[in-house]
Structure 1
Amino acid sequence: MPKEFEEFNLNRQILNAVADAGFTVATPIQEKAIAPVLSGQDIFGIAETGTGKTAAYVLPILMQLKYAQGDAPRALILAPTRELAMQITDHVKIFSKYTDLRTVVVYGGLGPKTQIEQIKAGVDIIVATPGRFLDIYLANHINTQYLKFLVLDEADKMMDMGFIGSIHRILEVVPRKRQNLLFSATMSDLVQKIAGDFLKNPTIIEVAQQATPAASVTQSLYHVPNFKTKINLLAHVLKNVDEFTRLIIFCKTKTVADNIFSFIERKFGPEAVRVIHANKGQNTRINSINDFKDGNIRVLVATDVASRGIDVSEVSHVINFDVPIVIEDYVHRIGRTGRAFAKGDALTLCTDAEKYYIQKIEKLIRQQIPIVPLPPEVFIEETPFEEKQAISRTIDDQKRREDPDFKGAFHEKKHAAAIAAAARNKTNKQPSWKKKKFKN
């Protein structure tokens, strides 16, 4: 039987806030982590996305901080993206609403002036991206000497984004005597390295196999020949308003995301869709996510910059319009649906050039993604010559990556063409006696 929050050693203010948020039963990561964190242990938590790990560390930290004290922060939570930092801050504020604890979120993308003013006014918990935290600290606006808790959330994503240097610099400026909590969906070599530098005799908590998608997510794989057929399939599923009620479409690049946004906007109206990626302003991204959370829009188109920063209940479908090149992102993308025991569906659209990454994803998650045939209503477009060439080049590059001696189809064609040309030249070459002019 799952444990109820009332059974944990949490004070009444926190329990009332948890109840107000509609939570009664703890998820497995919460059940396993809350008590060890309360007892002061370092934690290495391995948990798939959408399992409630934010509450697993926020609730016991709030319990131990209890009330506002002094002006300097006593807890620092680091997150890889601004979206995730804002999401964590929302959770902290929800669970601390009956306390006077003060939380400030700091991230890049906008001027630091307001963030610095908020910190100077007094803060108990800072939620930050590593780069912006260091910027403000190095400008002497953060006093770290009273920090008791240091949390690394989504440590694998931080390593993927190249934050290992920033993390080591932060470890140099925080007190040695502190409680450390690290959470990651996967256990890569870099994550294990930072865990060794960061944690002291940690309690390891694993609630699922590493990089295993939530069991509540039904996965489907569609083999499609080209981009236009992907668009046709997308249009087909979006017509099903009753089943596809709230969905996120993930794309590999900003250009593809903008193209899909424009297509859906033309097809279903501007009130149906928003797009978020790195070129969008901070306020635009925040407003788009809020519109999606509030149910004002049905479709959110996003690049992977947002795949870990969207915590929205009742997302019916995730559609991978492109297969992610960073294969771990597949787990985080599809984790946007099927959250907190809810059911969800994840559809992946795959061309021949993307099968290489599907094989690696299936190896990572240790399961095959079921292949579903294209619906008969979906028109299969003929692949344009340029796209066909691009797909062939990509496949050649992938084979060359696996086998450095592989020359590639283009090399073979070029070689064959050279041989044919040489043969033609030899045939057409006139004997020297024919060229010689004889005098009469």
Structure 2
Amino acid sequence: MEITAFEEFKLNRQLLSAVAEAGYEQPTPIQQKAIPLVMAGHDVLGIAQTGTGKTAAYVLPLLMKIKYAQGNTARALILAPTRELVMQIDAAITELGKYTDIRHVALYGGLGPKTQIETLQKGIDIIVATPGRFNDLYLKGEIPVKQLNTMVLDEADKMMDMGFMPQIRRILEVIPVKRQNLLFSATFPEKVERLSHEFLEFPTRIEVTPQASTADMVNQIVYEVPNLKTKINLLVHLLSDTERFLRVIIFVRSKETAENVFKYLERKIIEEGKIRIIHANKGQNTRINSMEAFREGAVRVLVATDVAARGIDVEEVSHVINFDVPIIYEDYVHRIGRTGRANRTGEAITFVTIAEEYHLKKIEKIIRMTVPRQPIPDEVIQTETPFDESQAMLREVDSQKKKEDPTFKGAFHEKKNPLAAAAKARAGSSAARTGSPAKRGTSGSPRKSAPSKAKTSNARRKR
């Protein structure tokens, strides 16, 4: 039977009041399936894309289980891969637990641990942490773990991508074996499946959408672009439409590209103060302030790398623009999951060069759909690709083909070395030793080279 109201979960009055004030009208599919199971004490494996309400799906039953502040040591631990996501989960606990006295703390790197240690020493019920900071403070003797009876791994796929597995295993070695385990992930690749076998005990699997599916509320399109400069020109053209592109996140692959895109847009078209940038090298306070300004609507455009993708929870993002195609393919799902949230429609636009087409094909296989292509608008100037950029893309395409077919010899190498290509095409080792490049006729096809004197004399002797 479908659950249509939060009252049907048998939550206490404090939680129901907070849910109502938070504007939650009816449970999402992941909440309908997960909340009763978590409250019943089951281990749960939840596969749900971002923007489906999965944070509340485990926070609400966790708050119901803990009920009130008790003792000095934590009873629940929630691990997340990034500081932004840790802060987001901690904010959800603050919102949903506002009428309880439950104490919680967010532990993450990027700033000194002094304040976090002081909060722990005052007594705590729930810890939300990145694996690295949790281990640091545990080794300092600041986190007693004997009372932990619930552990949540959120964004497990990102945990694996970021190399957190050794740190997670260290945590599993020191916390009590007898506990309830919850694992949530937007995608379910093989490495997460292995983790689930190691981490969960007879779990109930919940999959509210097909694995690695993309948000139904997101319209996805692709523009095939020849080079970086054309990407910039297309980006400027799109952002000039201020009526459609109201609140935009631009995802790029590297910090350097993020800085270049940010500076260009700030200089050319975006009103001062209406664009911000977040990446790993930005200070913690800068990232927090940028996110808050974007969430409040004071900032129209946010340029971000994937390290920040999982911690952006803003309901009214009109567009996500993938300036670069992600090379960790599951990140595509997380990027576009920033729009189309809370039953609102959104649009995800991806720019792809010939060197990125390979990665896009892999993404389309994961999401089980072909993203429709659109022609570049006539108003956008498509510049000629510089020689160095063209060569770099051809090398990349060569590398991709070799990855798929180890016997592939390298088309780029042959283009770059016409002597080698011609020698390969001609029979006989003597032709390969002549060393003279094939000349091209007016038709553009190589002329046959004249037979060598050695060949002619040999033929005469045979006669």
TM range (shorter): over 0.9
Contact 2:55 2:89 in 1 (8 A): yes
Counterpart position of 2:426: none
Deviation at 1:422, TM superposition (A): 3.9
Query: Which of 285, 288, 308 matches 1:286?
Result: 288
Residue by residue, what CA displacement relative to the aligned partner does 1:77-114 show, whole Å, maximum 9, x if unpaired?
00011111111011010000111111100011111111
Q: Distance in 1 between matches of 2:171 and 2:195?
A: 12
1:195-210 → structure 2 map (5 Å cutoff): 195-210=196-211
Cα distance in 1, alignment partners of residues 26 and 167 from structure 2: 37
Q: Would you say the 8 A contact 2:79–2:152 is kept in 1?
A: yes
Q: Which has the higher mean CA deviation after the structures are superposed, 304-313 or 4-13?
A: 4-13
Matched residues, number: 430
Aligned partners of 1:203, 1:342: CA distance in 2, in Å?
A: 30
* 1:112 matches 2:113: yes
Give the drift of 1:414.
4.8
Partner of 1:379 in structure 2? 381
* Cα separation, 2, equivalents of 1:317 and 1:416: 46
**Residue 388 of structure 1: aligned partner:** 390
410, 435, 456: which one aligns with 1:423: 435
**2:198 aligned with 1:186:** no
After superposition, residues 90-105 of structure 1 pair within 5 angstroms as 90-105=91-106
**Paired letter, 1:371:** R
Which of residues 308, 316, 330 in structure 2 aligns to 1:328? 330
Distance 1:142 1:409 in 2: 58
For residues 332-371 of structure 1, what are the structure 2 equivalents within 5 Å?
332-371=334-373
Greater alpha carbon shift after TM alignment, 168-177 vs 243-252: 168-177
Pair 233,2 (structure 1): closer, same or farther in 2 beyond 3 Å: farther
Q: State the Cα deviation string for residues 118-169 of structure 1 (Å, max 9, x = none).
A: 1111111100000110110011100110112100000011011111111111
- Cα deviation, 1:346-392, whole Å, max 9, x if unaligned, reads 00000011000110011000011011111111111111111111110
Which SS does the other structure have where 1:235 is aligned? helix
2:329 partner amino acid: I
CA distance in 2 between counterparts of 1:88 and 1:335 reads 17
Q: CA deviation at 1:399?
A: 0.5
Shift of 1:2: 5.8
Q: Deviations over 1:269-290 (max 9, x none)?
A: 3211000011111111111111
* SS of corresponding position for 2:148: coil
Q: Secondary structure at the match of 1:31?
A: helix
TM-score where L is the length of structure 1: 0.95
Partners of 2:99 and 2:80 in 1: how far apart?
25
Tell me, yes or no, if the aligned pair for 2:419 and 2:435 is still in contact at 8 Å. no
Alpha-carbon contact 2:38-2:58 (below 8 Å) kept? yes
Question: In structure 2, how many angstroms separate the alpha carbons of the residues matched to 1:278 and 1:422?
Answer: 55
Q: 1:303 aligns with which of 285, 302, 305?
A: 305
How many Å separate the matches in 2 of 1:406 and 1:286? 48
SS at match of 2:61: helix
Determine the structure 1 residue equivalent to 2:230: 229
**Matched residue, 1:246:** 247
Q: In structure 1, what is the equivalent of residue 446 of structure 2?
A: none
User: For the residues of structure 1 that align with 2:416 and 2:220, how far apart are their CA atoms?
Assistant: 41
8 Å CA contact retained: 2:157, 2:188: yes
AA aligned to 2:340 is G
**Is 1:60 aligned to 2:61, yes or no?**
yes
**Is the Cα contact below 8 Å between 1:2 and 1:27 reproduced in 2?**
no
1:423 offset after TM fit, Å?
3.0
Taking only aligned residues, the RMSD between alpha carbons, in angstroms, comes to: 1.8
How far apart are residue 117 of structure 1 and its match?
A: 1.1
Matches within 5 A, 1:80-99: 80-99=81-100
Moved over 2 A (4+): 413-427
Q: Structure 2: where are the runs of 5+ without partners?
A: 424-431, 438-448, 455-463
| CA contact 2:318–2:346 (8 Å) conserved in 1 | yes
Partner of 2:171: 170
With over 3 angstroms needed to count, the CA separation of the structure-2 counterparts of 1:226 and 1:2, relative to structure 1, is farther
Residue 89 of structure 1: SS of its match in structure 2?
helix
Superposition TM-score, scaled by structure 2 size: 0.90
Instruction: Tell me if structure 1 keeps the 8 A contact 2:80–2:130.
Output: yes
| Amino acid of the structure 1 residue aligned with 2:201 | K
Which of the numbers 316, 319, 324 marks the counterpart of 1:317? Answer: 319
CA contact (8 A) 1:79 1:154 kept: yes
**Is 1:132 paired with 2:133?**
yes
CA offsets 1:304-338 (integer angstroms, 9 cap, x no match) = 00111100011000000000001110000000000
Structure 1 residue matching 2:362: 3-state secondary structure: helix
1:213 CA displacement: 0.4
**Matches of residues 402-417 of structure 1 in structure 2 within 5 Å?**
402-417=404-419
CA contact (8 A) 2:6 2:27 kept: yes
What is the deviation of 1:345?
0.4
- Secondary structure at the aligned position of 2:326 is classed as coil
Q: CA deviation at 1:407?
A: 1.7
Query: Is residue 39 of structure 1 aligned with residue 51 of structure 2?
Result: no
- The gaps in structure 1 that reach 5 residues or longer are 432-440
Determine the C-alpha separation between the residues in 2 that align with 1:226 and 1:233: 11
Aligned residue type for 1:82: R
How much identity, in percent, do the aligned residues show?
A: 60
Is the CA contact (8 Å cut-off) linking 1:219 and 1:346 kept in structure 2?
Answer: yes
CA–CA distance in 2 between the matches of 1:423 and 1:304?
49
Q: Secondary structure at the residue paired with 1:61?
A: helix
| 1:379-430, Cα deviation, whole Å (9 max, x unpaired) | 1111111111111011001011111121212321355335589433999x99
Q: Deviations over 1:147-201 (max 9, x none)?
A: 1210000001101111111111111111111111000111112111111111111
- Secondary structure class of the residue paired with 2:219: strand
Letter in 2 for 1:227: L
Q: How far apart are the structure 1 equivalents of 2:415 and 2:224? A: 27
**What letter matches 1:181 in structure 2?**
L
Distance in structure 2 (CA, Å) of the matches to 1:230 and 1:295: 26
